[in-house]
Structure 1
Amino acid sequence: MADYQVSRRSFLQGTALAVGASVLGIPQSLPAADEDPYGGFRMGLQSYSLRAFKLDEALQHTRTLGVGYWEAYPGHIRLNTLPAHISEHKAKLKEAGVSLIAYGVLGFDENETKAREAFDFAQAMELKSISANPKKSAATFDLLDKLVEEYGIPIAIHNHGPGHIYDKVDDVLEMVKDRHPKIGACVDTGHYIRSDEDPVEVIEKLGPRVFGVHLKDAKTIRDPEEIERLSKELPKNRANQLKREGKIFTILGEGELNVVGCLRALRELQYDNCLSLEYEENADNPLSDIEVCLKTVRESVTKV
């Protein structure tokens, strides 16, 4: 991984998680009811951050990290509306002390049967939103208008950076204009940085249509020699991204994201959905990096 991540990681990874949680500063359990290190935000994880772990282990790690909310990706909890499947996974979540309040990212098109399955699943799992990548068509959004009204569950359009259909905030705003108030956005802050947009301004522009947040950081690398050096150290997909865009994902607080500004903008909106940390790097051993990210959130929320 890149050198700018080494100083913190080398310290944090020096002790095994099982015996070293106190050294790492990782809470042994979730905060007591009268303690709230995240200032009222429903701090959680996009479970993709723990994609290298199977469900039970990922839930255990979430508990150890001291957060109690998830936006699950389908690799951890498959979209299935069978009652036994729903009951099994709700029981696992309850046992782990983790509340599942968002899910995705799911594609949507004009297929109503497929879309209803997603909404039936969301209703059965008692979700607050579905992160989505809907087709840009009037028929798709007509269907979503109908389903969000019927189910009362918001659709949160996820931006995915340069080259994707929801690259800029205007791509989202164009599609949600004059649509049902429960059709809005999941703001991925890292991808908006990749798209040369200010995530704070994005949140302000979307206003009450913000139904999800993937809290992620990125930084710009301008020096050609550094780009070349990092490209040799990074996985192929990240090296290609760096060469194309001059940007790379990094630990929260070590990039260009104005974390305090984002939290302040969300607080002004009285945002009450999952604040999902999504850390995509170092997939096989992400826990120490995730704790540094969470520490950044805890420190930032005191300044909001």
Structure 2
Amino acid sequence: MSPTVDSPASRRQFMKTTAVAAAATLVPGITSPLFAAEKDPYAGFRMGIQSYSLRGFDVTKALETTDKLGLHYWEAYPNHIPVSTVPAQVAKYKKMLDAANVKLIAFGVLPFSKDETQARAFFDFAKAIGVETLSANPEKNKATFDLLDKLVEEYAINIAIHNHGPGAKYDKIDDVVDIVKGRNPRVGACVDTGHFLRSNEDPVEAIDRLSDRLYGVHLKDVKDAKIMTILGEGDLDVVGCLKLLKKNDYKYSLAVEYEENHENPVSDIEVCLSNVRKAVKQIG
């Protein structure tokens, strides 16, 4: 039972809270952690960014920018964090991630074939650095997927097949649905909403049909199936995507991805995130 407002403990807490809030208003750009913690603006989603969005920056600046954006999860692409199992190299990037208060939960997009040596190098790296999911563009053959079945089981790391739009291996929703059928449950999908729009596919339908194997989502927006745009300003049903993810208790990486203006993307990404927060308020 909580103390009443009139109790000494409550009065002390009230005065402390008021003092912190007052101090925060006096310092531009500072938000009281007491109030920041009261409400998660992303409704429990592990909201992050695909670091490709920040490809114009080196890894240090990209991580600093991520922290300033108020995000704490990354799906990194290899130009920011190279694949390596050298302990000193892994430790270096872990230290950088920790310093920026960013957790690396996904990585990619990586190619996979029947080449077990290459595949193990990717999985060994993921295990060493603590990645949960590898976004992937595997060859569409039995040998490759037999190998993936074995490795996801051995390493307890997910494979998320990433769709890349018209002409790619995984252009349509059916391409992903069909290839993962009967495979290890850890072999699943990373739904890139923008690329599905480019392929004239419905991202909400993709999330629905792949829900039991969904290990990654790239929130990206496109207008008229061809023009990359700021999230919330294209044809993506952002509310519909988030509502379904919430209904399905989605727990994996939810990464905004913005491919335009790579030299100075931050203000555009801020608008993307603002539109996500507005959509979150509508999902109930």
Pair in the same fold by TM > 0.5: yes
User: Gaps spanning 5+ residues in structure 1: where?
Assistant: 1-24, 221-245
Contact 1:194–1:247 (8 Å) recurs in 2? yes
3-state SS in 2 of match to 1:162: coil
Contact 1:207–1:269 (8 Å) recurs in 2? yes
| Shift in alpha-carbon separation, 1:260–1:201, aligned structure 2, 3 A | same
**Structure 2 counterpart of 1:47:** 51
Shift of 1:177: 0.4
Q: 1:71 aligns with which of 72, 75, 97?
A: 75
**Structure 1 counterpart of 2:187:** 183
Q: 2:118 aligns with which of 114, 119, 122?
A: 114
> How far apart, CA to CA, are the structure 2 residues paired with 1:209 and 1:248?
29
- Looking at both structures, which has the greater relative contact order when contacts are Cα pairs under 8 Å and sequence separation is at least 6? 1
Where does 1:78-89 land on structure 2 (aligned, <5 Å)? 78-89=82-93
3-state SS in 2 of match to 1:35: coil
> How far apart, CA to CA, are the structure 2 residues paired with 1:33 and 1:56?
26
Shift of 1:208: 1.4
| Shift in alpha-carbon separation, 1:112–1:203, aligned structure 2, 3 A | same
Shift of 1:171: 0.5
Shift of 1:270: 1.1
| Shift in alpha-carbon separation, 1:195–1:29, aligned structure 2, 3 A | farther
Aligned length: 256
> How far apart, CA to CA, are the structure 1 residues paired with 2:29 and 2:68?
7
Shift of 1:128: 1.4
3-state SS in 1 of match to 2:210: helix
Shift of 1:282: 0.6
Shift of 1:32: 4.0
The answer to whether residue 77 in structure 2 is matched with residue 98 in structure 1 is: no
**Structure 2 counterpart of 1:254:** 233
TM-score relative to the length of structure 2: 0.87
The answer to whether residue 172 in structure 2 is matched with residue 168 in structure 1 is: yes
Q: 2:259 aligns with which of 257, 275, 280?
A: 280
3-state SS in 2 of match to 1:44: strand
Shift of 1:34: 3.7
Shift of 1:124: 1.0
> How far apart, CA to CA, are the structure 1 residues paired with 2:278 and 2:188?
29
> How far apart, CA to CA, are the structure 1 residues paired with 2:153 and 2:29?
41
> How far apart, CA to CA, are the structure 1 residues paired with 2:31 and 2:152?
39
Shift of 1:47: 0.1
| Shift in alpha-carbon separation, 1:26–1:188, aligned structure 2, 3 A | farther
> How far apart, CA to CA, are the structure 1 residues paired with 2:30 and 2:260?
22
**Structure 1 counterpart of 2:5:** none
AA in 1 matched with 2:116: E
AA in 2 matched with 1:43: M
**Structure 1 counterpart of 2:282:** 303
Contact 1:29–1:64 (8 Å) recurs in 2? no
Write out per-residue CA displacement over residues 232-259 of structure 1, whole angstroms, 9 at most, x where no aligned residue: xxxxxxxxxxxxxx62110011100000
The sequence identity of aligned pairs, in percent, is 59
> How far apart, CA to CA, are the structure 2 residues paired with 1:29 and 1:247?
42
Contact 1:104–1:130 (8 Å) recurs in 2? yes
User: Gaps spanning 5+ residues in structure 2: where?
Assistant: 1-27
The answer to whether residue 108 in structure 2 is matched with residue 129 in structure 1 is: no
**Structure 1 counterpart of 2:4:** none
Contact 1:71–1:274 (8 Å) recurs in 2? yes
> How far apart, CA to CA, are the structure 2 residues paired with 1:103 and 1:27?
32
TM-score relative to the length of structure 1: 0.81
Aligned CA-pair RMSD: 1.8
